[in-house]
Amino acid sequence: MSNVLKDEIASHELPATPMDPAIMAKREEKIQVAMIGLCGCWGCTLSFLDMDAGLLSLLDKINISRASITDIKRIPKRCAIGFVEGGVANDENIETLEHFRENCDILISVGACAVWGGVPAMRNDVELEACFKEAYIDSPTAVPGIKPVIPFHEDLPLITSKVYPCHEVVKMDYFLPGCPPEGEAIFKVLDDLVNGREIDLPTSINRYD
């Protein structure tokens, strides 16, 4: 974890050991699965939907207790598997990611933004003040005659000085690259874990773009 990030969040130890897949397969009740989108474009969420009928084949074994397509804000009960889309760009992202780490046995970074910061991390080479100035003060879309301001309100999340990949904030157990990864790849990871197999993702369905 970088020194800058240590100044932005309270550093503390978090659960980090993945659950044994063999133990996962022996569960008598449905396996709880949660999904969340942080700073990203929701392309990975669409890939979740692209699992299509494959996901239906697992519904007798899993229960999706929290997802980006629902309005559930927090994980209602402890989950075996958590999927995280998007990087960390504000204090709300930090809080949400820590909540997932504390409540998921296995946590997976999904997509380029979660794995390394993605497109939002392009601002990391520019001072935050300069980013705000370009976006709001000197914006070509500024309305003539109206003094531009930088939005600020206590209800708005505070922007972090940099955009961080998830593993620089908490311990992540697996990484699924792609912008976005194929729905087939997400299904393969979920199917392996649910059925007690070690994750074996063929290169034919793994993407790095």
Distance CA 158, CA 88 (A): 11
pLDDT of residue 159: 94
Q: How would residue 89 be classed by pLDDT, with cut points 50, 70 and 90?
A: very high
On whether the 3-124+160-205 domain is CATH 1.10.357.10, my answer is no
pLDDT digits (tens, 9 = 90+) for 122-133: 999 999 999 999
Average pLDDT estimate for 96-108: 96
Distance CA 30, CA 80 (A): 10
Percent of residues, the chain, with pLDDT higher than 90: 61
Q: What is the pTM of this model?
A: 0.83
Q: How would residue 47 be classed by pLDDT, with cut points 50, 70 and 90?
A: very high
**116 contacts 149 by C-beta, under 8 angstroms:** no
Length of the chain: 209
